[in-house]
Structures are given as structure tokens and as C-alpha cells.
Amino acid sequence: MTGADIFHGTGDKLSCQSCGMPLGEFQDASGQAANNFATNADGARNSEFCIFCYKSGAFTRPDLTLDGMIAKSVENMTGELRMPEAKARELAKNVIPKLRRWSVKA
């Protein structure tokens, strides 16, 4: 998996507009159909965010800052994905600020 594969920000692939995680449907470890899409307040699927960032119509960590999200992303990429820290930090700093949650001016 390349850095570009982690953040599907263009084309026909969806990514979480808070953390950059690819969104989609997959089979879980037991072979059951699953997905990582968020949910709106009414329980409907939300295809803009992942289940880790947004549930039941609200952000799971509403006080999380852009710098906090970058740090969390670097931690995930260096841990689970075993990406070198410098590469993970560069990727996160280049991609996350451009995602809708962080680029919308209040």
C-alpha cells in the first residue's frame, strides 16, 4: 500500500473527510459483510465520514484539533501500517488539512 492509497481524496474512491481513511464495504475477519461508513442522527449511512470520526450525526471527538488529528493519523500510520514516521507525518500534513472537516472556514 502506498501513501497515495491511504488517502483516496480524488477519483471515484471515497475517503473520510475528517481523517482520510478509505471508506467502503468489506468482509470482516469472520467473513461477514461490513462497512466503515458513519451514521447520521436518523441512523442512515453517511458516506462523508468514517465510523471512527462520526457517529449518530455528530463527531466522536468534537474538540479534536487539526494538529490533534494529524498526530493521531501519524500514530496510526506508523503503528498499524508500519510506515516510517517522517513519511507518515509528511503525508498527514499534506492531506488532512485539505479534508472538508478542516478546510471549512467557520
Predicted TM-score (pTM) above 0.85: no
**So what's the pLDDT on residue 74?**
96
Reduced to 3 states, what is the DSSP secondary structure of residue 75? helix
Which residue's entry shows cell 441512523? 43
Compare 33 and 93 and report the one with higher pLDDT: 93
**So what's the pLDDT on residue 104?**
78
- H or E stretch at 47: strand 45-50
Cβ-Cβ contacts under 8 Å for 93 (sequence gap 6 or more) = 70
Q: Is the confidence at residue 63, as pLDDT, over 90?
A: yes
What are the backbone dihedrals phi and psi of residue 8, each rounded to the nearest 5 degrees, phi first?
A: -85, 85
- H or E stretch at 102: helix 100-103
Q: How far apart are CA 74 and CA 89, in angstroms?
A: 6
Q: Is the confidence at residue 1, as pLDDT, over 80?
A: no
- pLDDT tens digits along 31-50: 888 899 999 999 999 999 99
- pLDDT tens digits along 9-29: 445 689 999 999 999 988 888
Q: How far apart are CA 96 and CA 90, in angstroms?
A: 10
Domain that holds residue 49: 3-103
Mean pLDDT over each residue of the chain, to the nearest integer: 88
Rounded to the nearest 10°, the torsion over CA 29, 32, 36, 37 is 180
Number of domains the chain contains:
1
**So what's the pLDDT on residue 105?**
63
pLDDT category of residue 75 using cuts at 50, 70 and 90: very high
